[in-house]
Structure 1
C-alpha cells in the first residue's frame, strides 16, 4: 500500500546511518517522548499506558511532542509504543502498573506450560496483524511530520522479550530467565527463534507503514555471559538483521537502516560490529559504560556507525557537567576528523525526573560543539 508522504526536509540521520559524511552528527534520544514532558501528562489524560499505545491519535501526538518542543534540535522521531506489544500479540496478558512498570499476571513457567505451547503455535502473520494500531500510528505520524525529521520504528530483541515473558516483569535477579537459559536450552532457543520471526514481520510492517529506520532494543543483553550471548541472543539478533531486508524486498519496499542497541553488553561490542556475526546491523547503540574513544578503537575501520552514549544521569547535573560530557563524546567519537560514523544519543532512555530544559541544553551543546 502506497502512502503520499511529504518529501524529507531533514534526512541527516538516514545519511549518517548509511555511513555517509554529514554536516553535523544527527541527534535523537531514547524515550524522548515520555513522562519527563509536562505535555505528555496532559495528552495522556486518564488513559493507562497501553491505552495510549493502542490509540493511534494519542500515540502520534506523544511522538511529536519532543519534535515540536525541541524544534531544530532533534533529528528523528521514534514512534510512541512499547516493546511488550509483541508478547501481547502472542497472546500473553501484559499490564502497566503505575509506579511499578510492566506486569505479566501469568508468565511462562516451563516448556510444559500450556501457555508456552500456545505462544509457539501462534501464527506469525496473525500476531503482527493484531498490531495494526502501531502501523496506523506510524502512518499518521509520518504524515504529521511533513518531512521535518525521519520516523524510527522499533521492537524489543528476542532475549529481552523472553526475560519479561518468563520473569513476569522487571527484575534484578533474572531467576526465571536464567532458569530457562540453563535448564531448558532447546526450548529457549525455539522461543527466541519464534520471537525473532515475529520481529522481522513486525518491523517490515512498520516500514510499510512509513518507518524510515528501525531499532532493536536488547535492554537485558548485559545480563548474559559472553558465551550465552553468542549461543542464544546473537543467533536471534542475526536472524532479524539478515531476514528483514529480504522481507522488505518481498514487499517491494526500500531498505532502511537497522540499529541494534545491546545495553550492557560491552563484552560483545567487537562481535556486534562484525557483519558476519551480527547479520548486518548498520548502527550499534552504546550505553554509557563505553568510553567513546575505546569503542571507536574496537570498531576499527569497519563500516559500522556508533550511536550514543552520554550517561542519562548527567541531565540531573550542572551545565558544566553536560558540557564536559558532550566534549568527551565529540572528541572520543572523532567527529572533527571523520564527520561520519556517529549518531548522538544518550546511553539509555531519559528518566521521568529530568527537566526538559536540561535536555534542551544537552542538545544545544551538541550543536555548538560539532559546528564545523
Structure 2
C-alpha cells in the first residue's frame, strides 16, 4: 500500500532529538471517554470489546481527537489487555469496574499452560493500524503500543486492577520461577505484537509499564525492566527506510531514570513527580523525554493550564534541538472538559514557538 508523505514529523524528530520548531504534543488516552463523540461511537459499537475489535470503529475513535485539536501524533485505539485476551484469558469490561479476566493465571498449572498466541488472533489490531494510516493521509504520525511484560502479568494474575497487588506479588515472592516464565512469554509475545504493528504502519511504538512503580528497588530491575529491555532489543527499528522510535514509560519510575535510560529506547516517558531539568541532568541527554503534566491540572481553569504548561516546557529547557514531547504524566481523566484540552494544545505550541525554538 502506497502511503502519502508525512506532513508533520515534529513528533518523530523530537523523539530522535533532531531540530524542531516547537514542542510537539499528544496525550495519553487522547481518544477516550472525555470526548462526547467517542461515547457516541462506543454506544454504537455496543461494548468496549466490540469497539476495540472492529477496525473501522477503532479508526474512527483514533481520528476523533485530531479533528478537534492540533495534536502532533495519533495513537492507535486499542487496549494493552488484547494480548492476554489472545492467550485465552477471556477479557471483558464490566461497567463501573473496568477490565476483568474470566480465567486468571493463579497457579503452576495455569502458568505452564500459557503460550504465545497466534498473531492471527490480533489481526483486527493490525488491520486497524493499516486503516488508520490510510485515513490519516500523512497528517501526523501514528503511534502503536503495548503493555510491558510486567504490567500485563499483573493483570493476568490479579484478574483485574488491584490496590495492593497481593496476588501477583505473592507469586513473585513464592515462585519467582513461575513469574519469570510468564514474563518471558509476555516479552516474546509483546515484541512480535509490536513488530506486527510496525509492519502494518505504526511509525513509533510505546511500551506502557503502568504498574512497574509498585515494585521495590532491585525487583523492578529483575521483574520489569529486564523484560522491557528484551522487548526493546527485539523490535524493528527501521521500516520503509525510516527510523521507528521507541518510547518506554514506567509510572512511578522516577527513582530508576538512569536504569530505564539504559534499556535501549529512544525516549522515556515520566510522570508528574519528576522534574524534567533534573531528569536531563541524571540521564545525560541519552534519550528524549516525554511528559509530564499532572492530568488534574485540566480542572484548574485556563490560567492554571497555561501556567503549568509553560512550567513543564521551562523545566525541560530550550527545545530547538528536540528531545521533548509534551504529554501528561499519565492518562487524561474521563471528566476533562474538551475545551481545556484545546487550551493546553494552544499554549504548548504557542509558548514553545515564542520562547524556546531556535
Q: Normalized against structure 2, the TM-score is what?
A: 0.95
1:1-372 equivalences under 5 Å are 3-46=1-44, 47-70=46-69, 73-111=70-108, 113=109, 115-119=110-114, 122=115, 124=116, 126-245=117-236, 254-274=242-262, 278=263, 280-302=264-286, 304-335=287-318, 338-372=320-354
Residue deviations 1:28-75 (CA, integer Å, cap 9, x gap): 0000000000000111224111110100000000000001111xx200
Q: Secondary structure at the match of 1:215?
A: strand
Q: Secondary structure at the match of 1:335?
A: coil
Q: How many residues align?
A: 353
- Measure, in 1, the Cα distance between the counterparts of 2:285 and 2:147: 29
Residue deviations 1:226-253 (CA, integer Å, cap 9, x gap): 210111111111101111137x78xx87
Contact kept, 8 Å, 2:290 with 2:327, in 1: the verdict is yes
- Measure, in 2, the Cα distance between the counterparts of 1:237 and 1:284: 12
- Measure, in 2, the Cα distance between the counterparts of 1:357 and 1:339: 30
Residue deviations 1:275-316 (CA, integer Å, cap 9, x gap): xxx1x10000011111222212212242x0000000000001
- Deviating 4+ runs (over 6 angstroms): none
Q: Secondary structure at the match of 1:346?
A: coil
Q: Normalized against structure 1, the TM-score is what?
A: 0.92
Q: Does the C-alpha gap of structure 1 residues 282 and 183 become closer, same or farther in structure 2, counting only changes over 3 Å?
A: same
| Alpha-carbon distance, 1:255 to partner | 4.1
Contact kept, 8 Å, 2:198 with 2:236, in 1: the verdict is no
Say which is worse superposed, 322-331 or 49-58, in terms of deviation: 322-331
Structure 1 unaligned spans of 5+: none
Q: Secondary structure at the match of 1:165?
A: helix
| Alpha-carbon distance, 1:356 to partner | 0.2
- Measure, in 1, the Cα distance between the counterparts of 2:130 and 2:146: 17
Q: Secondary structure at the match of 1:226?
A: coil
Q: Does the C-alpha gap of structure 1 residues 80 and 266 become closer, same or farther in structure 2, counting only changes over 3 Å?
A: same
Q: Secondary structure at the match of 1:82?
A: coil
Say which is worse superposed, 102-111 or 198-207, in terms of deviation: 102-111
Residue deviations 1:105-141 (CA, integer Å, cap 9, x gap): 2311122x3x32221xx2x3x5322100001111011
RMSD over aligned Cα atoms: 1.5
| Alpha-carbon distance, 1:254 to partner | 4.9
